[in-house]
Chain A
Amino acid sequence: MNAPVSLGAAWAELVSTALLGTDRRGAPGRPAPSAGADLLAPFARAIDPAGSLLDQVSAVHAARRAGARPAAVGPRLCPLTVWARVPCPTPAARRLGVVLAGRHGDLLPELLALLVHRGLAVPPEHLCALMDRTRAEPGLQALVVQAAGPVLPWLADALPQLGWSSPSVFVDGGRDIAALDVARREELWSHGSVTDRLALLRHLRAVEPADARARLVQTLGSERAEHRAVLLGALGQGLGPDDEPLLERALDDRSAVVRATAVGLLRRLDQSQWTDRMAARARAMVRVEPGVGDGVDRLDITLVAPLPAAWERDGIDAAAPRGVSIGVHALRQVFAATPLAAWTALADPPTLVAMASAHELGPVLIAAWAEAAASQRDARWARLLLEEAEIPALAAALDEEALSAAAARVARPEQLLTPFGLAVLGAAPRPWPQELAHAVTAAVVGAFIERRVGRHSAPLLRRMGRLLPPEQLEPIAEELSMLGLPPPLDGVRDELCDLLVFRAAMVRELAPAEAT
């Protein structure tokens, strides 16, 4: 008996013969004297070396496949130990899959927020699809990261090829950074990726804002433009008057992205040199001209064009949209950025609003003030301006009383499905009083009966479906489904009902346990 040859060796021999060709290499002749000899013996046909070779390949290949043994295992992953979260119940997990597949995809943010609110883990089978979504919709990233919890950094570590930023960004509230010792922290700061440093900055902003600012000052000179902008953005957390000098300096940055970031942050400060400059510009444009004959005072407005360089430095956009003069475009931006308090020296707000609406630029002035009232959360101005124009942004600045009044007003078929109507409904204090709930239901049904909706209203109807209080969804769907409607109105209704019922079920599935 010859020494046994392994199947692996027999295979290698057969492959090299086949590569060269039996014409050159000759027939494999006798089968390799091996454990497989019995297997191969019947195939050793002298007549056709090529056929014989294929016979043997066939037999050896089958024997190797059939005899495959468990393979050696490389290094094991360090298991994810801190789940710290309750697994998502299966119905909600399935629903997330359906939403990710595109059915009522606009409910995704709410679904994720519900998971976070309940402290439930994101169903792991949907994690990758969610991360893919954040690539298309970066606005979702923070929510996805928060909802996913520790599995995300764990997976990013296990599979670096995914390119899912650095793990440190993923941890809630920077807790793992808080755990780092000083040396490790300094190492992260000097050698970490931009996302690492951003995470560190955010963490420091929460505990030692001045230290974060000092690091930023020291590093801004040496960074690439987009990194400078991202790092500067970290000031958004815990933004305060002390940050102003740094932001003021950033207005002179070479990069437009950095300048825009700085303007965005300055806008959020109640008072600064920037707002002072805006106020001065605004005041210089407006004069009250005392009424001569009728005794009614008028506004006299002087537009500025072309824009001085200092205005553009402060982020005033010089590219007016078509049909709008540069002077008007600048006026609107300056007014919107001016603290509303700055106007009281000129006249009291009711008089100002009255004079503005009498002016030929009235709509522009009202819109600019509405923007200011919304961003400065000025309820008094918001209420005044609301009397002139129903501007959706104002809803966010109204106080509860004014909101309730406005909600009662918009709960009518002809008012409800307007951007303003929906903005008011979204902001109205919850839970809705009985009367409002009934009025809104009647208004929705009325909008269908009075044919105020059609295919074109689908986006508004969807928005309404997303912002209605959950407890109103099914009552409205029920009322609607009883309507006899002709096509295409029945299709519009069915789509809306589908959304309402779907969202109601989603909210119910993720309702806190004590409520079920």
Chain B
Amino acid sequence: MTDRWSTAEVLALAPDAAVGLAAHGLATPSAWSDVGCDDIGVWGLYRGTSAEPYDVVVDRIGPAWRCSCPSRKIPCKHAVGLLLLWAEGNVPSAVRPANVRAWLAAQQRRAAPSSGREAEPELPLVPAEAPGPAPATREEVGGPAPRERAGDRRADDRASRVRAGLAELDLWLTDQVRRGLTSAELARADTWEGVASRLVDAQAPALANRVRRVAELVGGGVGWQERVLAEMAGLHALAVAGAAPSRLDDDLAVSVRTAVGWAVSKEEVLAGTPVTDDWHVVARSDTDEHRIIVRRTWLLGRRTGRWGLLLSFAAFGQSLAGFPAVGTLLHADLHHFPGRLPIRALVGRQHEPAVADVDGPAASSVAATLADHGWAVAQEPWLERWPGVVRGTPARATGPGWVLADESGGLALAPGAYLPTLLAVSGGGPVVVAGEHRANGFAPLAVRVEDRAAVLA
């Protein structure tokens, strides 16, 4: 094992000093049996005072742990103790027992797939913008499995269903414009849900979710038709482009397919050339997309200045991945998904544990972030979110609402509950804010305070 951790690194994982202390006492080889490790996991049985030995497994990549003890500390002293044992070189390499294999495989599936090299069952893939309407559908959407002939047939089937679905969508869109956007039908929620579920049936889940997001604008305040019209035009563009992707440039075709709901396999992404950098974890946002929570974590490369977007998903009641945390610096390989605007990414090899981001990311001026956003929109006009790190002073807009102001002008801010905290941090002076450009303005998600980042929830 070349990447064996130091004792200090292991102890840093303990949730508190008491666990670390207790773990020290457990890290003696005589207390353990059936211990083993490979390049990902460490496992073993701890024979403590209880009748049943505790069954401990650690996934070092996650990192994640499982222990059959009743402790509510995570990780518990047994997991930390096992890692100490391993760090001290007292755990031999071994082949995973079956139960360990199953758990580690489940971990790899759940976590960022840093171990793409592992031969694993095909993951249920998730489209770029949206996780698909329901797990069942996602499963179906999931495996393009191009190696199998049956898979080929399935892919062909799907392509024709998607094409039919897009044609139907465009017909509906043009019908609305023909009749006028003031029609009562358009203002009804079930109209839109009908359109969305037909797209789900047509296996275009990302587009279905986009329709649902448009539906949320319906009836919302004066002039909602204007905002809905803009989004309908985006749907129309995707429907037209998605019907004939072969007429587009390769990278644009990939972008369109992604926006419709075709997934790129994680293996394929991880096989691509990574960008290695110190990634500032600048912000994250959670959105509820049809009963699934989508977490977007935005990374900004310190040397390359490149963006990365990590997506993670949780069904109702599950908790979202806390890694990587906002305000940390991650020295890692980032593999970007293909497309006209490669931004979504997977973390490949992580070279060092994440550290506190003391200096913070370089910030743009208001004019520069608008220009950057403009460039991105020009690449993908249906773009819904684009990240930015801006230095500016919160100030009132000339109309209602607030802006971030610098000498180049004001960046209109999306309304939100973040405002009091943003102002408190600013004290009326300039602050460095990370956030997303959205249809209704720039949404601040995190702000730098002294040598740390504060999440604006």
Contact = CB atoms under 8 A, between A and B. Distances in A.
A102 interface: no
B427 A79 contact: yes
Interface string B44-57: 00000110000000
B157 interface: no
A124 B177 contact: no
Contacts of B454: 123, 125
A194 interface: no
B398 A65 contact: no
B18 to A, nearest CB: 4
Among A24, A61, A79: residue with most chain B CB under 10 A: A61
B395 interface: yes
B72 interface: yes
Contacts of B322: none
B449 A124 contact: yes
Interface in B383-425: 393-399, 403, 405, 408-412, 419-421, 423-425
B283 to A, nearest CB: 14
A502 to B, nearest CB: 7
A345 interface: no
Among B229, B366, B397, B405: residue with most chain A CB under 10 A: B229
A309 interface: no
Contact of A93 (B70, B236, B452): B452
A19 B21 CA distance: 70
Contacts of A49: 178
A474 B21 CA distance: 12
B229 A123 contact: no
A15 B226 contact: yes
B395 A50 contact: no
A86 to B, nearest CB: 11
B156 to A, nearest CB: 28
Contacts of A151: 424, 427
Interface string B14-50: 0111110110010000000000000000000000011
A51 B428 contact: no
Interface in B426-457: 427-429, 447, 449-452, 454
Contacts of A125: 421, 424-425, 447, 449, 454
B400 to A, nearest CB: 10
A58 B373 contact: no
Among B398, B420, B452: residue with most chain A CB under 10 A: B420
Given A72-B410, A77-B395, A124 B229 contact: no
A475 B454 CA distance: 34
B177 A21 contact: yes
Contact of B396 (A54, A75, A478): A75
Task: Bin chain B's interface residue count.
Answer: 35 or more
B370 A123 contact: no
Nearest to A97: B454
A159 B70 contact: no
B49 A484 contact: yes
B182 interface: yes
B396 A74 contact: yes
Interface string A60-80: 011001111111111111111
Interface stretch (B3-11, B122-130, B374-382): B374-382
A392 to B, nearest CB: 29
A65 B180 contact: no
Nearest to A488: B70
B424 A124 contact: yes
Interface in A302-317: none
Nearest to B452: A90
A154 B394 CA distance: 14
A79 B431 CA distance: 12
A264 interface: no
Nearest to B365: A70
A54 B173 contact: yes
Among A74, A93, A488: residue with most chain B CB under 10 A: A74
B318 interface: no
Contacts of B234: 58, 61
A501 interface: yes
Contacts of A124: 421, 424-425, 427, 449
B117 interface: no
A44 to B, nearest CB: 15
A21 B381 contact: no
A61 B397 contact: no
A55 interface: yes
Contact of A70 (B356, B398, B408): B408
Given A66-B377, A73-B403, A90 B450 contact: yes
A155 interface: yes
Given A65-B377, A128-B424, A478-B21, A50 B408 contact: no
Among B394, B451, B454: residue with most chain A CB under 10 A: B454
Contacts of B226: 15
Interface in A446-488: 474, 477-478, 480-482, 484, 486-488
B450 A87 contact: yes
A51 B367 contact: no
A23 interface: yes
Contacts of B428: 76-80, 154, 158
Contacts of B410: 70-73
B164 interface: no
A151 B426 CA distance: 10
B429 A79 contact: yes
B203 interface: no
B420 A70 contact: no
A76 B21 contact: no
Nearest to A482: B25
Given A54-B177, A76-B405, A491-B72, A481 B21 contact: yes
B149 interface: no
B177 A70 contact: no
A373 to B, nearest CB: 40
A23 B175 CA distance: 10
A477 B18 contact: yes
A208 interface: no
Contacts of B374: 65-68
Contact of B18 (A128, A491, A498): A498
A497 interface: yes
A151 B449 CA distance: 15
A74 B181 contact: no
A422 interface: no
A494 interface: yes
A179 interface: no
Interface string B336-361: 00000000000000000000100000
Contacts of B182: 19-20
A53 B232 CA distance: 11
Contact of A18 (B71, B177, B377, B412): B177
Contacts of B367: 69-70
A21 B179 contact: yes
A83 B449 CA distance: 14
A57 B229 contact: yes
A154 B427 contact: yes
B395 A74 contact: yes
A71 B411 contact: yes
A134 interface: no
A486 B48 CA distance: 10
Contacts of A61: 230, 233-234, 381
Interface in A219-243: none
B398 A74 contact: yes
Given A66-B374, A75-B396, 4 more contacts: A68-B373, A75-B395, A477-B17, A494-B19
Query: Which A-B residue pairs are the 5 nearest by beta carbons?
Result: A70-B409, A21-B180, A79-B428, A125-B454, A62-B381
11 contacts: A18-B229, A19-B180, A57-B233, A57-B236, A58-B381, A67-B374, A69-B370, A69-B409, A71-B409, A494-B18, A505-B17
Interface of B: 15-19, 21-22, 25, 49-50, 70-73, 170, 173-175, 177-183, 225-226, 229-230, 232-234, 236-237, 240, 356, 366-367, 370, 373-375, 377-378, 381, 393-399, 403, 405, 408-412, 419-421, 423-425, 427-429, 447, 449-452, 454
